[in-house]
Structure 1
Amino acid sequence: MFRKKSLLATSIKSIAISTTLNREMSGLSRALCSNSMRPIFIALSGLLVASSVSADPVVNGIVGESVVLPAGLSPQDNPSELEWRLGKDTIADKDNSEVTTDQFRHRVHLNRTDWSLTINLLRAEDSGEYNCVATAASGRQLPTHAVTLHVYEKIESKVTRKPLNETCRATLLCTTNQREHVSYRWKRGDQDLPEHAGILEVSLNPGEINVTFTCIASNPVSEATASIRESCAEPPGGVSFCVLKSVLLSLGLVLMISAVIGVHVRDCTHTKRNVRRHRAACET
Protein backbone atom coordinates (compact mmCIF):
# COMPACT_ATOMS: atom_id res chain seq x y z
CA MET A 1 0.00 0.00 0.00
CA PHE A 2 2.80 2.34 0.89
CA ARG A 3 4.57 1.52 -2.41
CA LYS A 4 1.43 2.34 -4.41
CA LYS A 5 1.14 5.71 -2.68
CA SER A 6 4.79 6.47 -3.47
CA LEU A 7 4.35 5.60 -7.15
CA LEU A 8 1.21 7.77 -7.30
CA ALA A 9 3.03 10.69 -5.72
CA THR A 10 5.94 10.33 -8.18
CA SER A 11 3.57 10.30 -11.14
CA ILE A 12 1.76 13.42 -9.93
CA LYS A 13 5.13 15.18 -9.45
CA SER A 14 6.28 14.24 -13.00
CA ILE A 15 3.03 15.56 -14.47
CA ALA A 16 3.46 18.83 -12.60
CA ILE A 17 7.05 19.26 -13.86
CA SER A 18 5.99 18.52 -17.44
CA THR A 19 3.17 21.06 -17.22
CA THR A 20 5.59 23.70 -15.91
CA LEU A 21 8.06 23.08 -18.77
CA ASN A 22 5.29 23.32 -21.35
CA ARG A 23 4.20 26.66 -19.91
CA GLU A 24 7.78 27.97 -20.00
CA MET A 25 8.25 26.85 -23.62
CA SER A 26 4.96 28.45 -24.58
CA GLY A 27 6.07 31.66 -22.93
CA LEU A 28 9.37 31.55 -24.81
CA SER A 29 7.54 31.03 -28.11
CA ARG A 30 5.27 33.99 -27.41
CA ALA A 31 8.33 36.06 -26.56
CA LEU A 32 9.99 35.16 -29.85
CA CYS A 33 6.86 36.11 -31.73
CA SER A 34 6.46 39.38 -29.84
CA ASN A 35 7.43 42.67 -31.47
CA SER A 36 10.51 43.10 -29.29
CA MET A 37 12.01 39.69 -30.19
CA ARG A 38 10.90 39.57 -33.82
CA PRO A 39 14.01 41.38 -35.28
CA ILE A 40 16.33 38.94 -33.47
CA PHE A 41 14.30 35.97 -34.70
CA ILE A 42 14.42 37.28 -38.27
CA ALA A 43 18.18 37.84 -38.06
CA LEU A 44 18.77 34.32 -36.80
CA SER A 45 16.61 32.93 -39.58
CA GLY A 46 18.61 34.93 -42.12
CA LEU A 47 21.87 33.53 -40.80
CA LEU A 48 20.55 29.98 -41.06
CA VAL A 49 19.43 30.55 -44.64
CA ALA A 50 22.75 32.17 -45.59
CA SER A 51 24.73 29.31 -44.11
CA SER A 52 22.73 26.81 -46.18
CA VAL A 53 23.56 28.57 -49.48
CA SER A 54 26.48 26.94 -51.30
CA ALA A 55 29.47 28.91 -52.50
CA ASP A 56 29.57 30.24 -56.04
CA PRO A 57 30.71 27.51 -58.48
CA VAL A 58 34.18 27.60 -60.05
CA VAL A 59 34.71 26.34 -63.60
CA ASN A 60 38.11 25.63 -65.17
CA GLY A 61 38.71 25.95 -68.90
CA ILE A 62 41.56 25.37 -71.38
CA VAL A 63 42.78 27.98 -73.86
CA GLY A 64 41.37 27.22 -77.32
CA GLU A 65 38.66 24.86 -76.08
CA SER A 66 35.04 25.32 -74.90
CA VAL A 67 33.40 25.62 -71.50
CA VAL A 68 29.80 25.67 -70.22
CA LEU A 69 28.72 28.02 -67.41
CA PRO A 70 25.59 26.84 -65.52
CA ALA A 71 22.83 29.41 -64.97
CA GLY A 72 21.69 27.96 -61.65
CA LEU A 73 18.01 28.10 -62.65
CA SER A 74 15.34 25.42 -62.27
CA PRO A 75 12.80 24.62 -65.03
CA GLN A 76 10.10 26.21 -62.87
CA ASP A 77 11.81 29.61 -62.90
CA ASN A 78 10.85 30.28 -66.58
CA PRO A 79 12.58 33.70 -66.74
CA SER A 80 10.99 36.46 -68.77
CA GLU A 81 14.28 38.38 -68.86
CA LEU A 82 17.82 37.01 -68.59
CA GLU A 83 21.32 38.33 -69.14
CA TRP A 84 24.83 36.98 -68.72
CA ARG A 85 27.28 39.65 -67.65
CA LEU A 86 31.03 39.91 -67.19
CA GLY A 87 31.67 42.98 -65.09
CA LYS A 88 29.49 45.71 -66.58
CA ASP A 89 29.38 44.14 -70.05
CA THR A 90 26.38 42.09 -71.20
CA ILE A 91 27.68 39.16 -73.23
CA ALA A 92 24.40 37.26 -73.76
CA ASP A 93 20.77 38.39 -73.69
CA LYS A 94 17.57 36.29 -73.82
CA ASP A 95 15.87 38.83 -76.08
CA ASN A 96 18.88 39.62 -78.27
CA SER A 97 20.77 36.86 -80.05
CA GLU A 98 23.53 39.20 -81.26
CA VAL A 99 26.52 39.75 -78.96
CA THR A 100 27.58 43.37 -78.82
CA THR A 101 30.86 42.80 -76.96
CA ASP A 102 33.85 42.46 -79.29
CA GLN A 103 35.64 40.09 -76.92
CA PHE A 104 32.93 37.43 -77.21
CA ARG A 105 31.62 38.04 -80.72
CA HIS A 106 30.91 34.73 -82.50
CA ARG A 107 32.21 32.80 -79.47
CA VAL A 108 29.21 32.45 -77.12
CA HIS A 109 26.00 30.46 -77.26
CA LEU A 110 23.00 30.80 -74.91
CA ASN A 111 21.17 27.53 -74.28
CA ARG A 112 17.46 28.41 -74.21
CA THR A 113 16.54 25.22 -72.34
CA ASP A 114 18.61 25.55 -69.16
CA TRP A 115 19.98 29.06 -69.95
CA SER A 116 23.59 27.93 -69.55
CA LEU A 117 26.27 29.86 -71.44
CA THR A 118 28.81 28.17 -73.72
CA ILE A 119 32.04 30.01 -74.50
CA ASN A 120 34.10 28.68 -77.42
CA LEU A 121 37.75 29.23 -78.37
CA LEU A 122 38.63 30.28 -74.83
CA ARG A 123 41.24 32.95 -74.21
CA ALA A 124 43.25 33.65 -71.07
CA GLU A 125 41.52 37.04 -70.72
CA ASP A 126 38.13 35.31 -70.49
CA SER A 127 38.88 34.51 -66.85
CA GLY A 128 36.64 36.32 -64.39
CA GLU A 129 33.32 36.27 -62.51
CA TYR A 130 30.25 35.83 -64.70
CA ASN A 131 26.77 36.74 -63.42
CA CYS A 132 23.45 35.40 -64.64
CA VAL A 133 20.79 38.03 -63.90
CA ALA A 134 17.18 36.92 -64.45
CA THR A 135 13.61 38.06 -63.81
CA ALA A 136 10.74 35.59 -63.35
CA ALA A 137 7.59 35.72 -65.44
CA SER A 138 5.78 37.09 -62.39
CA GLY A 139 8.14 40.07 -62.39
CA ARG A 140 10.08 38.86 -59.34
CA GLN A 141 13.83 39.40 -59.50
CA LEU A 142 15.59 36.04 -59.21
CA PRO A 143 18.83 35.72 -57.18
CA THR A 144 21.91 36.55 -59.25
CA HIS A 145 23.94 33.42 -60.01
CA ALA A 146 27.72 33.97 -60.08
CA VAL A 147 30.21 31.63 -61.77
CA THR A 148 33.97 32.10 -61.55
CA LEU A 149 35.85 31.01 -64.67
CA HIS A 150 39.60 30.24 -64.66
CA VAL A 151 41.20 29.74 -68.07
CA TYR A 152 44.56 27.96 -68.23
CA GLU A 153 46.91 27.02 -71.04
CA LYS A 154 47.48 23.34 -71.67
CA ILE A 155 50.68 22.56 -69.84
CA GLU A 156 53.89 21.47 -71.59
CA SER A 157 57.07 20.24 -69.91
CA LYS A 158 60.67 19.24 -70.62
CA VAL A 159 63.59 17.90 -68.56
CA THR A 160 67.19 19.09 -68.81
CA ARG A 161 70.29 18.17 -66.78
CA LYS A 162 73.21 20.02 -65.23
CA PRO A 163 76.14 19.64 -65.60
CA LEU A 164 76.17 18.32 -69.15
CA ASN A 165 79.45 16.38 -69.04
CA GLU A 166 79.38 14.70 -65.62
CA THR A 167 78.20 11.13 -65.18
CA CYS A 168 76.76 9.29 -62.17
CA ARG A 169 75.54 12.53 -60.55
CA ALA A 170 73.30 15.22 -62.02
CA THR A 171 70.66 17.85 -61.30
CA LEU A 172 67.50 17.41 -63.35
CA LEU A 173 65.38 20.49 -64.10
CA CYS A 174 61.72 20.19 -65.07
CA THR A 175 60.43 23.34 -66.79
CA THR A 176 57.00 24.23 -68.17
CA ASN A 177 55.37 26.95 -70.24
CA GLN A 178 53.67 28.30 -67.09
CA ARG A 179 54.84 29.86 -63.85
CA GLU A 180 51.74 29.66 -61.66
CA HIS A 181 49.35 26.89 -60.57
CA VAL A 182 51.87 24.15 -61.49
CA SER A 183 52.63 21.06 -59.40
CA TYR A 184 55.37 18.46 -59.98
CA ARG A 185 55.91 14.73 -59.38
CA TRP A 186 58.91 12.55 -60.24
CA LYS A 187 59.38 8.87 -61.05
CA ARG A 188 62.44 6.66 -61.36
CA GLY A 189 61.31 3.99 -63.78
CA ASP A 190 57.92 2.96 -62.39
CA GLN A 191 58.76 4.00 -58.83
CA ASP A 192 57.32 7.22 -57.40
CA LEU A 193 59.86 9.54 -55.80
CA PRO A 194 59.11 11.76 -52.77
CA GLU A 195 60.29 14.91 -54.56
CA HIS A 196 57.50 17.39 -55.42
CA ALA A 197 59.46 20.27 -56.92
CA GLY A 198 60.84 21.11 -60.34
CA ILE A 199 64.40 20.12 -59.36
CA LEU A 200 65.66 16.58 -58.72
CA GLU A 201 69.14 15.54 -57.55
CA VAL A 202 70.07 12.08 -58.86
CA SER A 203 73.00 9.76 -58.10
CA LEU A 204 73.69 6.45 -59.85
CA ASN A 205 75.99 3.57 -59.05
CA PRO A 206 78.62 2.39 -61.57
CA GLY A 207 77.01 0.00 -64.01
CA GLU A 208 73.50 1.52 -63.88
CA ILE A 209 72.61 2.15 -67.51
CA ASN A 210 69.63 3.96 -69.11
CA VAL A 211 67.74 4.69 -65.90
CA THR A 212 64.61 6.66 -66.83
CA PHE A 213 63.61 9.68 -64.74
CA THR A 214 60.19 11.17 -65.51
CA CYS A 215 58.72 14.53 -64.48
CA ILE A 216 54.92 14.83 -64.32
CA ALA A 217 53.85 18.47 -64.37
CA SER A 218 50.19 19.42 -63.98
CA ASN A 219 47.86 22.38 -63.61
CA PRO A 220 44.12 22.36 -62.79
CA VAL A 221 43.14 21.38 -66.36
CA SER A 222 45.96 19.30 -67.87
CA GLU A 223 49.03 17.14 -67.26
CA ALA A 224 52.30 16.70 -69.16
CA THR A 225 55.18 14.27 -68.79
CA ALA A 226 58.82 14.53 -69.85
CA SER A 227 61.59 11.94 -69.39
CA ILE A 228 65.36 11.69 -69.53
CA ARG A 229 67.72 8.70 -69.32
CA GLU A 230 70.77 8.67 -67.10
CA SER A 231 73.70 6.22 -67.01
CA CYS A 232 76.77 5.63 -64.89
CA ALA A 233 79.45 3.82 -66.93
CA GLU A 234 81.54 0.96 -65.58
CA PRO A 235 85.36 1.30 -65.30
CA PRO A 236 87.39 0.70 -68.51
CA GLY A 237 87.54 -2.90 -69.69
CA GLY A 238 84.03 -3.71 -68.68
CA VAL A 239 85.06 -4.77 -65.16
CA SER A 240 82.46 -3.88 -62.61
CA PHE A 241 83.39 -1.56 -59.78
CA CYS A 242 82.83 -4.26 -57.14
CA VAL A 243 85.07 -6.73 -58.95
CA LEU A 244 87.75 -4.11 -59.48
CA LYS A 245 87.60 -3.17 -55.81
CA SER A 246 87.99 -6.82 -54.76
CA VAL A 247 90.94 -7.29 -57.10
CA LEU A 248 92.69 -4.19 -55.80
CA LEU A 249 92.15 -5.23 -52.19
CA SER A 250 93.46 -8.74 -52.90
CA LEU A 251 96.47 -7.36 -54.72
CA GLY A 252 97.24 -5.01 -51.84
CA LEU A 253 96.96 -7.85 -49.37
CA VAL A 254 99.36 -10.02 -51.43
CA LEU A 255 101.84 -7.18 -51.63
CA MET A 256 101.71 -6.66 -47.86
CA ILE A 257 102.24 -10.38 -47.16
CA SER A 258 105.08 -10.51 -49.68
CA ALA A 259 106.73 -7.52 -48.03
CA VAL A 260 106.47 -9.09 -44.58
CA ILE A 261 107.91 -12.38 -45.87
CA GLY A 262 110.68 -10.55 -47.66
CA VAL A 263 111.66 -8.63 -44.53
CA HIS A 264 111.61 -11.84 -42.51
CA VAL A 265 113.80 -13.71 -45.03
CA ARG A 266 116.22 -10.79 -45.15
CA ASP A 267 116.52 -10.75 -41.36
CA CYS A 268 117.10 -14.52 -41.23
CA THR A 269 119.76 -14.33 -43.93
CA HIS A 270 121.48 -11.48 -42.14
CA THR A 271 121.42 -13.41 -38.86
CA LYS A 272 122.95 -16.55 -40.46
CA ARG A 273 125.75 -14.49 -41.95
CA ASN A 274 126.56 -12.98 -38.59
CA VAL A 275 126.64 -16.46 -37.00
CA ARG A 276 129.06 -17.77 -39.64
CA ARG A 277 131.36 -14.82 -39.23
CA HIS A 278 131.38 -15.27 -35.46
CA ARG A 279 132.31 -18.98 -35.78
CA ALA A 280 135.05 -18.22 -38.23
CA ALA A 281 136.51 -15.62 -35.90
CA CYS A 282 136.47 -18.06 -32.97
CA GLU A 283 138.27 -20.80 -34.95
CA THR A 284 141.10 -18.51 -35.84
Structure 2
Amino acid sequence: MSAHRRLLHFSYALPVFIVLLGLLVASSVFADPVVNGIVGESVVLPAGLSPQDNPSELEWRLGKNIIADKDNSDVTTDQFRHRVHLNRRDWSLTINLLRAEDSGEYKRIATATSGDQLPTLTVTFHVYEKIKSEVTRKPSHETCRATLLCTTNQREHVSYRWKRGDQDLPEHAGILEVSLIPGEINVTFTCVASNPVSEATASIRESCLGSPGGVSFCVLKSVLLSLGLVLMISAVIGVHVRDCAHTKRNVRRHRAACET
Protein backbone atom coordinates (compact mmCIF):
# COMPACT_ATOMS: atom_id res chain seq x y z
CA MET A 1 0.00 0.00 0.00
CA SER A 2 1.39 3.39 -1.02
CA ALA A 3 1.95 6.19 1.43
CA HIS A 4 -0.87 8.18 -0.17
CA ARG A 5 -3.34 5.32 0.29
CA ARG A 6 -2.24 4.75 3.86
CA LEU A 7 -2.75 8.43 4.61
CA LEU A 8 -6.19 8.35 2.95
CA HIS A 9 -7.18 5.24 4.90
CA PHE A 10 -6.03 6.86 8.15
CA SER A 11 -7.97 10.05 7.40
CA TYR A 12 -11.18 8.00 7.04
CA ALA A 13 -10.52 5.81 10.09
CA LEU A 14 -9.55 8.59 12.49
CA PRO A 15 -13.02 10.21 12.77
CA VAL A 16 -14.63 6.80 13.34
CA PHE A 17 -12.09 6.03 16.06
CA ILE A 18 -12.71 9.39 17.74
CA VAL A 19 -16.49 8.84 17.71
CA LEU A 20 -16.16 5.33 19.17
CA LEU A 21 -13.76 6.59 21.83
CA GLY A 22 -16.18 9.39 22.73
CA LEU A 23 -19.06 6.95 23.05
CA LEU A 24 -16.96 4.69 25.26
CA VAL A 25 -15.94 7.54 27.54
CA ALA A 26 -19.49 8.87 27.69
CA SER A 27 -20.91 5.48 28.56
CA SER A 28 -18.38 5.06 31.37
CA VAL A 29 -19.00 8.58 32.73
CA PHE A 30 -22.77 8.70 32.47
CA ALA A 31 -23.57 5.04 33.14
CA ASP A 32 -26.31 4.66 35.72
CA PRO A 33 -24.72 3.52 39.00
CA VAL A 34 -25.33 0.30 40.88
CA VAL A 35 -25.19 0.56 44.68
CA ASN A 36 -25.18 -2.21 47.32
CA GLY A 37 -26.32 -1.88 50.93
CA ILE A 38 -26.52 -3.98 54.10
CA VAL A 39 -29.69 -4.65 56.07
CA GLY A 40 -29.81 -2.42 59.16
CA GLU A 41 -27.15 0.00 57.95
CA SER A 42 -27.20 3.22 55.88
CA VAL A 43 -26.48 4.04 52.26
CA VAL A 44 -26.03 7.18 50.14
CA LEU A 45 -27.51 7.18 46.64
CA PRO A 46 -25.64 9.64 44.38
CA ALA A 47 -27.66 12.21 42.46
CA GLY A 48 -25.10 12.75 39.71
CA LEU A 49 -25.13 16.51 40.33
CA SER A 50 -22.35 18.82 41.45
CA PRO A 51 -22.57 21.37 44.29
CA GLN A 52 -22.77 24.08 41.61
CA ASP A 53 -26.00 22.65 40.26
CA ASN A 54 -29.07 24.30 41.72
CA PRO A 55 -32.13 22.65 40.23
CA SER A 56 -35.41 24.45 40.56
CA GLU A 57 -37.18 21.13 41.11
CA LEU A 58 -35.85 17.78 42.26
CA GLU A 59 -37.36 14.58 43.57
CA TRP A 60 -36.39 10.98 44.19
CA ARG A 61 -38.79 8.24 43.19
CA LEU A 62 -39.04 4.50 43.73
CA GLY A 63 -41.53 3.22 41.23
CA LYS A 64 -44.42 5.70 41.28
CA ASN A 65 -43.82 6.79 44.86
CA ILE A 66 -42.05 10.06 45.67
CA ILE A 67 -39.76 9.39 48.61
CA ALA A 68 -37.95 12.75 48.74
CA ASP A 69 -38.69 16.20 47.30
CA LYS A 70 -36.63 19.41 47.28
CA ASP A 71 -39.57 21.61 48.23
CA ASN A 72 -41.25 19.31 50.73
CA SER A 73 -39.13 17.37 53.20
CA ASP A 74 -42.21 15.58 54.55
CA VAL A 75 -43.08 13.84 51.27
CA THR A 76 -42.30 10.21 52.01
CA THR A 77 -44.12 6.92 51.79
CA ASP A 78 -44.81 4.87 54.90
CA GLN A 79 -41.96 2.55 53.87
CA PHE A 80 -39.37 5.31 54.15
CA ARG A 81 -40.93 7.56 56.78
CA HIS A 82 -38.23 8.95 59.11
CA ARG A 83 -35.56 6.93 57.30
CA VAL A 84 -34.52 9.21 54.41
CA HIS A 85 -32.53 12.43 54.24
CA LEU A 86 -32.04 14.65 51.17
CA ASN A 87 -28.59 16.25 51.08
CA ARG A 88 -29.16 19.77 49.79
CA ARG A 89 -25.51 20.24 48.87
CA ASP A 90 -25.20 17.53 46.21
CA TRP A 91 -28.83 16.27 46.27
CA SER A 92 -27.83 12.72 47.16
CA LEU A 93 -30.29 10.60 49.12
CA THR A 94 -29.41 8.89 52.40
CA ILE A 95 -31.50 5.91 53.50
CA ASN A 96 -31.09 4.66 57.07
CA LEU A 97 -31.97 1.37 58.75
CA LEU A 98 -32.06 -0.47 55.44
CA ARG A 99 -34.55 -3.23 54.80
CA ALA A 100 -34.49 -5.99 52.21
CA GLU A 101 -37.57 -4.51 50.53
CA ASP A 102 -35.70 -1.25 49.89
CA SER A 103 -34.05 -2.84 46.85
CA GLY A 104 -35.12 -1.42 43.51
CA GLU A 105 -34.50 1.24 40.88
CA TYR A 106 -34.42 4.75 42.28
CA LYS A 107 -34.83 7.69 39.91
CA ARG A 108 -33.52 11.19 40.48
CA ILE A 109 -35.67 13.59 38.44
CA ALA A 110 -34.63 17.25 38.28
CA THR A 111 -35.40 20.46 36.41
CA ALA A 112 -32.77 23.16 35.83
CA THR A 113 -33.37 26.80 36.79
CA SER A 114 -33.74 27.49 33.08
CA GLY A 115 -36.76 25.23 33.03
CA ASP A 116 -35.03 22.49 31.04
CA GLN A 117 -35.45 18.90 32.18
CA LEU A 118 -32.15 17.43 33.33
CA PRO A 119 -31.32 13.85 32.31
CA THR A 120 -32.96 11.43 34.72
CA LEU A 121 -30.53 9.34 36.76
CA THR A 122 -31.47 5.76 37.64
CA VAL A 123 -29.70 4.15 40.59
CA THR A 124 -30.05 0.39 40.86
CA PHE A 125 -29.95 -0.46 44.56
CA HIS A 126 -29.55 -3.92 46.11
CA VAL A 127 -29.90 -4.63 49.83
CA TYR A 128 -28.27 -7.76 51.23
CA GLU A 129 -28.06 -9.32 54.66
CA LYS A 130 -24.67 -9.88 56.23
CA ILE A 131 -23.69 -13.40 55.33
CA LYS A 132 -23.18 -16.12 57.94
CA SER A 133 -21.55 -19.48 57.26
CA GLU A 134 -21.15 -22.87 58.92
CA VAL A 135 -19.14 -25.97 58.00
CA THR A 136 -20.46 -29.43 58.83
CA ARG A 137 -19.24 -32.95 58.07
CA LYS A 138 -21.46 -35.26 56.09
CA PRO A 139 -21.96 -38.51 58.10
CA SER A 140 -19.50 -41.17 56.96
CA HIS A 141 -17.84 -44.32 58.32
CA GLU A 142 -14.56 -43.50 56.60
CA THR A 143 -11.83 -42.10 58.83
CA CYS A 144 -9.50 -40.55 56.25
CA ARG A 145 -12.02 -39.18 53.74
CA ALA A 146 -14.78 -36.67 54.40
CA THR A 147 -17.37 -34.55 52.63
CA LEU A 148 -17.56 -31.04 54.07
CA LEU A 149 -20.65 -28.88 53.58
CA CYS A 150 -20.57 -25.08 53.80
CA THR A 151 -24.01 -23.57 54.42
CA THR A 152 -25.08 -19.93 54.69
CA ASN A 153 -28.13 -17.92 55.65
CA GLN A 154 -28.65 -16.96 51.99
CA ARG A 155 -29.41 -18.80 48.77
CA GLU A 156 -28.57 -16.26 46.08
CA HIS A 157 -25.54 -14.14 45.19
CA VAL A 158 -23.23 -16.32 47.32
CA SER A 159 -19.73 -17.39 46.30
CA TYR A 160 -17.45 -19.89 48.05
CA ARG A 161 -13.76 -20.61 48.36
CA TRP A 162 -11.89 -23.10 50.55
CA LYS A 163 -8.58 -23.17 52.39
CA ARG A 164 -6.57 -26.01 53.86
CA GLY A 165 -4.63 -24.40 56.64
CA ASP A 166 -3.24 -21.27 54.96
CA GLN A 167 -3.31 -22.81 51.48
CA ASP A 168 -6.03 -21.82 49.02
CA LEU A 169 -7.85 -24.71 47.35
CA PRO A 170 -9.21 -24.66 43.77
CA GLU A 171 -12.77 -25.60 44.75
CA HIS A 172 -15.39 -22.84 44.51
CA ALA A 173 -18.57 -24.63 45.62
CA GLY A 174 -20.32 -25.24 48.90
CA ILE A 175 -19.12 -28.88 49.00
CA LEU A 176 -15.55 -30.03 49.52
CA GLU A 177 -14.25 -33.61 49.30
CA VAL A 178 -11.15 -34.05 51.48
CA SER A 179 -8.70 -36.93 51.75
CA LEU A 180 -6.02 -37.27 54.41
CA ILE A 181 -3.12 -39.67 54.81
CA PRO A 182 -2.64 -41.74 57.98
CA GLY A 183 -1.04 -39.71 60.71
CA GLU A 184 -2.46 -36.30 59.72
CA ILE A 185 -4.07 -34.83 62.81
CA ASN A 186 -6.23 -31.71 63.26
CA VAL A 187 -5.98 -30.41 59.70
CA THR A 188 -8.04 -27.20 59.47
CA PHE A 189 -10.37 -26.69 56.50
CA THR A 190 -11.96 -23.26 56.16
CA CYS A 191 -14.89 -22.14 54.03
CA VAL A 192 -14.96 -18.47 53.02
CA ALA A 193 -18.48 -17.49 51.91
CA SER A 194 -19.21 -14.04 50.52
CA ASN A 195 -21.93 -11.95 48.96
CA PRO A 196 -21.59 -8.48 47.37
CA VAL A 197 -21.45 -6.72 50.76
CA SER A 198 -19.91 -9.10 53.31
CA GLU A 199 -17.75 -12.15 53.94
CA ALA A 200 -17.87 -14.89 56.58
CA THR A 201 -15.55 -17.77 57.45
CA ALA A 202 -16.16 -21.09 59.19
CA SER A 203 -13.69 -23.87 59.93
CA ILE A 204 -13.60 -27.54 60.87
CA ARG A 205 -10.76 -29.88 61.81
CA GLU A 206 -10.23 -33.32 60.29
CA SER A 207 -7.88 -36.14 61.33
CA CYS A 208 -6.73 -39.44 59.89
CA LEU A 209 -5.87 -41.61 62.89
CA GLY A 210 -3.23 -44.22 62.09
CA SER A 211 0.47 -44.63 61.48
CA PRO A 212 2.21 -43.17 58.44
CA GLY A 213 3.28 -46.72 57.52
CA GLY A 214 -0.19 -47.42 56.22
CA VAL A 215 -1.84 -49.36 59.10
CA SER A 216 -5.14 -47.71 59.80
CA PHE A 217 -6.37 -47.06 63.30
CA CYS A 218 -9.30 -49.42 62.84
CA VAL A 219 -7.04 -52.30 61.81
CA LEU A 220 -4.63 -51.56 64.63
CA LYS A 221 -7.47 -51.45 67.13
CA SER A 222 -8.82 -54.78 65.90
CA VAL A 223 -5.40 -56.40 66.20
CA LEU A 224 -4.91 -55.08 69.73
CA LEU A 225 -8.36 -56.27 70.79
CA SER A 226 -7.70 -59.72 69.32
CA LEU A 227 -4.36 -59.98 71.12
CA GLY A 228 -5.96 -58.91 74.37
CA LEU A 229 -8.68 -61.52 73.99
CA VAL A 230 -6.12 -64.25 73.25
CA LEU A 231 -4.06 -63.26 76.29
CA MET A 232 -7.16 -63.26 78.47
CA ILE A 233 -8.22 -66.74 77.32
CA SER A 234 -4.68 -68.02 77.74
CA ALA A 235 -4.57 -66.70 81.30
CA VAL A 236 -7.88 -68.37 82.17
CA ILE A 237 -6.74 -71.69 80.70
CA GLY A 238 -3.40 -71.41 82.53
CA VAL A 239 -5.11 -70.84 85.87
CA HIS A 240 -7.44 -73.77 85.25
CA VAL A 241 -4.57 -76.10 84.33
CA ARG A 242 -2.59 -75.03 87.38
CA ASP A 243 -5.55 -75.67 89.68
CA CYS A 244 -6.12 -79.10 88.14
CA ALA A 245 -2.46 -80.04 88.56
CA HIS A 246 -2.49 -78.85 92.16
CA THR A 247 -5.61 -80.92 92.86
CA LYS A 248 -4.05 -84.06 91.33
CA ARG A 249 -0.91 -83.68 93.46
CA ASN A 250 -3.03 -83.39 96.60
CA VAL A 251 -4.96 -86.56 95.68
CA ARG A 252 -1.76 -88.54 95.10
CA ARG A 253 -0.33 -87.35 98.43
CA HIS A 254 -3.53 -88.36 100.22
CA ARG A 255 -3.46 -91.84 98.69
CA ALA A 256 0.18 -92.31 99.58
CA ALA A 257 -0.50 -91.31 103.18
CA CYS A 258 -3.37 -93.79 103.46
CA GLU A 259 -1.29 -96.70 102.12
CA THR A 260 1.43 -96.11 104.70
TM-score under structure 2 normalisation? 0.71
2:122 to 146, 153, 158: 146
Asked if 1 retains the 8 angstrom alpha-carbon contact of 2:162 and 2:171, the reply is yes
1:150-185 deviation digits (Å, cap 9, x = unpaired): 111100000001125542111000000111110000
Q: Does 1:53 align with 2:24?
A: no
Give, in whole Å, the separation in 2 of the partners of 1:214 and 1:99.
49
Query: Offset at 1:241?
Result: 4.2
Give the corresponding residue for 1:242: 213
User: Which of the two has greater helix per residue?
Assistant: 1
Count the aligned residue pairs.
200
Fraction of identical pairs, as percent: 83
Give the corresponding residue for 1:79: 55
Structure ID, larger Rg: 1
Change over 3 Å in CA distance of 1:206–1:53 after alignment to 2 = closer
Asked if 2 retains the 8 angstrom alpha-carbon contact of 1:99 and 1:106, the reply is no
Give, in whole Å, the separation in 2 of the partners of 1:203 and 1:80.
68
Give, in whole Å, the separation in 2 of the partners of 1:109 and 1:192.
44
Give, in whole Å, the separation in 2 of the partners of 1:203 and 1:50.
50
Amino acid in structure 2 at the alignment position of 1:58: V
Give the corresponding residue for 2:203: 227
Give runs of aligned pairs for residues 76-115 of structure 1, distance below 5 A.
76-115=52-91
1:217 to 187, 193, 210: 193
For structure 1, which runs of at least 5 residues remain unmatched after alignment? 1-16, 26-44, 235-239, 246-284
3-state SS in 2 of match to 1:97: coil
Give the corresponding residue for 1:176: 152
Give, in whole Å, the separation in 1 of the partners of 2:145 and 2:164.
14
Query: Offset at 1:100?
Result: 3.0
Asked if 1 retains the 8 angstrom alpha-carbon contact of 2:59 and 2:70, the reply is yes
Amino acid in structure 2 at the alignment position of 1:53: S
Asked if 2 retains the 8 angstrom alpha-carbon contact of 1:168 and 1:205, the reply is yes
How much is the aligned-residue C-alpha RMSD, in angstroms?
2.6
Give, in whole Å, the separation in 2 of the partners of 1:228 and 1:64.
30
Give the corresponding residue for 2:251: none
Give, in whole Å, the separation in 1 of the partners of 2:175 and 2:94.
39
For structure 2, which runs of at least 5 residues remain unmatched after alignment? 12-18, 217-260
1:184-231 deviation digits (Å, cap 9, x = unpaired): 000010111111100000111111111000000000000000000001
Amino acid in structure 2 at the alignment position of 1:227: S
Give the corresponding residue for 1:271: none
Q: Does 1:136 align with 2:107?
A: no
Give, in whole Å, the separation in 2 of the partners of 1:94 and 1:202.
59
Give, in whole Å, the separation in 1 of the partners of 2:120 and 2:144.
61
Give the corresponding residue for 1:253: none
Change over 3 Å in CA distance of 1:229–1:244 after alignment to 2 = closer
Give the corresponding residue for 1:42: none
2:162 to 186, 196, 199: 186
3-state SS in 1 of match to 2:76: coil
Give, in whole Å, the separation in 2 of the partners of 1:103 and 1:95.
20
Query: Offset at 1:53?
Result: 3.4
Asked if 1 retains the 8 angstrom alpha-carbon contact of 2:181 and 2:212, the reply is no
Give the corresponding residue for 1:125: 101
